[in-house]
């Protein structure tokens, strides 16, 4: 089967949505907002979020939007998007006709679908209430970073890997970093098949079934996250394996430096040595305590020149 390797970058800087946007909850006192980026002091504006600190502390950030591609981290850090191309400005959105598309050329219900692609960065999006998944990556996709997104009100949030039988997904590497998994989420944050997954410095609040799941022996490296379980005593566990214990006991799943709140717990398995997680390590995890400062900035940004973002 032919593969299509796309070099792509998706950054949602401003978007309107059909749902009511709620600001992510604060775990503790927020860091102060600033009225204009030109007044920022470099040290004051830093939060520990490697991506945002790369550009938000630059008083001239709006003068060179393409430079934002240099701020990517994780497995998707080589995404270049349109950095080397011209800027196209849409002046008339009224002449966009779709004529007789081929079968299955339209959406299959995912908010964002990554299909047979590599070098992908999805950053600062707000996603909810899609027909299928919010973000799905399948059919041999790899070198992906999913960062700084705000996800809410959805059942099956993220699927990584097409099926247990699709072995090309064994090489999949995905970084999931600095995201805020908010209210009304049920499961798959993410749900992984095969591959290697670095889940680092995210905030999880009140999943209804589980947060991180998988089958077909994926490697899960969970570092520096905050897991806040709901009050439901049957939904305290972070993890879920779609397999029998005799099989999954050898899968490499670890929790390192994670903060477990309100009874949340992570069930590890497999090896504990760092060598077993080299392919699932893509960046240095920051202390989970820093997420009290970074979580509030997840999701779409409402940026205007000369103002805070």
Return the closest-CA partner of residue 266 out of 279, 274, 256.
256
Hey, what are 123's tokens? 């950053």
**Residue of 183, 182, 190 whose CA lies nearest to 298:** 182
Query: From start to end of 34-82, where are the E strands?
Result: none
Helix (H) / strand (E) element for 146: namely strand 142-147
Which residue of the set 37, 56, 118, 188 is catalytic? 188
Dist CA 89 CA 92 (whole Å): 9
* Cβ atoms of 144 and 112 closer than 8 Å: no
Return the bridge partners of 187, or none.
156
254 is catalytic: no
Residues 208, 182 contacting (CB under 8 angstroms)? no
C-alpha 13/C-alpha 303 separation (Å) is 7
Q: What share of the chain is helix, strand, coil (3-state, %, to 5)?
A: 20, 25, 55
Catalytic residue IDs: 188
């Amino acid at each position: 089967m032919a593969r299509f390797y796309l070099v792509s970058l998706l950054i949602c800087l401003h978007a309107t949505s059909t749902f009511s946007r709620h600001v992510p909850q604060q775990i503790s006192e927020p860091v102060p907002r600033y009225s204009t980026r030109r007044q920022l002091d470099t040290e004051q504006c830093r939060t520990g979020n490697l991506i945002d600190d790369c550009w938000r502390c630059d008083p001239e950030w709006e003068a060179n939007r393409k430079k934002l591609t240099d701020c990517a981290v994780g497995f998707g850090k080589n995404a270049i998007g349109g950095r080397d191309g011209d800027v196209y400005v849409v002046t008339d959105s009224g002449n966009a006709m779709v004529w007789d598309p081929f079968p299955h050329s339209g959406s299959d219900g995912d908010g964002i679908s990554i299909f047979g692609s590599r070098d992908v960065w999805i950053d600062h999006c707000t996603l909810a209430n899609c027909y299928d998944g919010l973000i799905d990556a399948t059919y041999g996709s790899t070198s992906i970073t999913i960062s700084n997104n705000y996800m809410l009100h959805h059942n099956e949030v993220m699927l990584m890997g097409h099926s247990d039988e699709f072995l090309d997904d064994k090489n999949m590497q995905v970084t999931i970093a600095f995201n805020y998994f908010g209210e009304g989420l049920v499961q798959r944050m993410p749900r992984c098949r095969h591959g290697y997954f670095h889940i680092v410095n995210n905030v999880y609040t009140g999943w209804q079934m589980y947060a991180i799941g998988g089958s077909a022996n994926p490697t899960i490296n969970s570092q520096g996250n905050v897991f806040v379980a709901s009050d439901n005593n049957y939904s305290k566990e972070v993890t879920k394996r779609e397999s029998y214990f005799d099989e999954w006991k050898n899968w490499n799943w670890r929790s390192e430096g994670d903060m477990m709140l309100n009874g949340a717990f992570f069930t590890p398995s497999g090896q504990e040595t760092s060598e077993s997680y080299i392919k699932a390590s893509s960046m240095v995890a920051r202390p989970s305590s820093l997420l009290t400062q970074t979580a509030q900035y997840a999701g779409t940004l409402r940026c205007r020149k000369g103002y805070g973002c």
